[in-house]
Amino acid sequence: MPEIKKYKKDSIVYFKGDPRKEIFLIKEGKVLCESTGFYNETIRAILGPGEFFGLKSAIAGYPKEETVNVIEDSIIILFSIKEFENLIKSNPNVGLKILKALSSDLRAIGKEEKRLLTQNIFEDPGNEMIKMGLYFFNKKDYTNALCIWERFKNFFPNHTQIPEVNEYIEKVKEAQKTGYHPVLKK
Amino acid sequence: MGETQKTYNKDYKAGQVIFCEFEPGTSFYMIRKGKVRISKISETQEKILDVLTEGSIFGEMAILEQAPRSATAIAETDTSLIEFTKENFKDLLSQYPDLLASLIRILSKRIFEAKRRLSVMQLKDEESKLIDAILMLVENIAKKDPDIINEKEITIAVTIEELGNWCGIDEKKTKALLFDFQRAGKIDIKPDSIIVKDLQDFVRIMERKRKFAKSENESQ
Report the pLDDT value the prediction gives residue A141, as an integer from 0 to 100.
Answer: 93
Report the pLDDT value the prediction gives residue A123, as an integer from 0 to 100.
Answer: 66
Q: Is residue B133 part of a domain?
A: yes
Using a CB–CB cutoff of 8 Å, tell me whether B3 touches chain A.
Answer: no
Q: Is residue B118 part of a domain?
A: no
Give the domain-ending residue among B62, B97, B132. B97
Using a CB–CB cutoff of 8 Å, tell me whether B45 touches chain A.
Answer: yes
Residue B208 maps to which CATH number? Answer: 1.10.10.10
Of B135, B101, B113, the residue nearest B210 (C-alpha): B135
Q: Which residue in the set A89, A106, A152 is minimally distant from B107, CB to CB?
A: A106
Say if residue B108's pLDDT is above 90.
Answer: yes
Residue of B nearest to A147 (CA): B17
What is the Cα–Cα distance from A38 to A36, expressed in whole angstroms?
7
Instruction: Please give the tally of structural domains in chain B.
Output: 2
Whether residue B81 is found in the same domain as residue B136: no
Residues of A in contact with B100 (CB under 8 A): 88-89, 92, 95-96, 99
Give the domain-ending residue among B97, B116, B144. B97
Say if residue B204's pLDDT is above 90.
Answer: yes
ipTM surpasses cut 0.85: no
Question: Residue B1 — pLDDT band, cuts 50, 70, 90?
Answer: very low
Whether residue B152 is found in the same domain as residue B204: yes
Using a CB–CB cutoff of 8 Å, tell me whether B219 touches chain A.
Answer: no
Residues of A in contact with B169 (CB under 8 A): 120
- The DSSP output letter for B88 is T
CB atoms within 10 A of CB B188: 14
Whether residue B130 is found in the same domain as residue B182: yes
Q: Which residue in the set A59, A116, A151 is minimally distant from B105, CB to CB?
A: A59
Mean pLDDT by 10 residues, chain A (186 residues): 96 96 97 90 95 96 96 98 95 91 85 69 80 93 95 93 95 92 84
Say if residue B4's pLDDT is above 60.
Answer: no
What is the Cα–Cα distance from A78 to A75, expressed in whole angstroms?
10
Q: List chain A domain ranges.
A: 3-90, 125-176
Report the pLDDT value the prediction gives residue B220, as an integer from 0 to 100.
Answer: 56
- The DSSP output letter for A45 is E
Residues of B in contact with A88 (CB under 8 A): 100-101, 104
Say if residue B217's pLDDT is above 90.
Answer: no
Q: Is residue B172 part of a domain?
A: yes
What is the DSSP annotation of B89-104?
A: HHHHHHH-TTHHHHHH
Q: Is residue B116 part of a domain?
A: no
Domain span including residue B181:
124-219
Q: Is A99–B103 a contact, with Cβ atoms under 8 angstroms apart?
A: yes
What is the DSSP annotation of B43-87?
A: SS-EEEEEEE-TT-EE-GGGGT-SPBPSSEEEESSSEEEEEEETT
Question: CATH code for A3-90?
Answer: 2.60.120.10
Higher pLDDT, B216 or B110: B110
Of B27, B19, B35, the residue nearest B92 (C-alpha): B27
What is the Cα–Cα distance from A98 to B29, expressed in whole angstroms?
20
Q: Is residue B196 part of a domain?
A: yes
Report phi then psi at A27, rounded to 5: -95, -45
Higher pLDDT, B212 or A98: A98
Give the domain-ending residue among B82, B97, B112. B97
Report the pLDDT value the prediction gives residue B219, as an integer from 0 to 100.
Answer: 65
Higher pLDDT, B44 or B179: B179
Residue of B nearest to A62 (CA): B112
Q: What is the dihedral of CA B169, B173, B177, B183, to 10 degrees?
A: 150
> What's the first-to-final CA gap in chain B, in angstroms?
63
Q: Is residue B23 part of a domain?
A: yes
Report the pLDDT value the prediction gives residue B47, as an integer from 0 to 100.
Answer: 81
Of A39, A34, A5, A8, the residue nearest A22 (C-alpha): A5
Residue of B nearest to A84 (CA): B101
Contact B127, B178 (CB under 8 A): no
Say if residue B192's pLDDT is above 70.
Answer: yes
Mean pLDDT of B47-56: 89
Higher pLDDT, B62 or A76: A76
Q: Where are the beta strands (DSSP E) in chain B?
A: 9-12, 17-19, 27-33, 36-41, 46-52, 57-58, 72-75, 79-85, 154-156, 187-190, 193-196
Report the pLDDT value the prediction gives residue B65, as an integer from 0 to 100.
Answer: 63
Q: What count of CB pairs under 8 Å joins A to B?
A: 129
pLDDT tens profile B118-145: 888 888 899 999 999 999 999 989 988 9
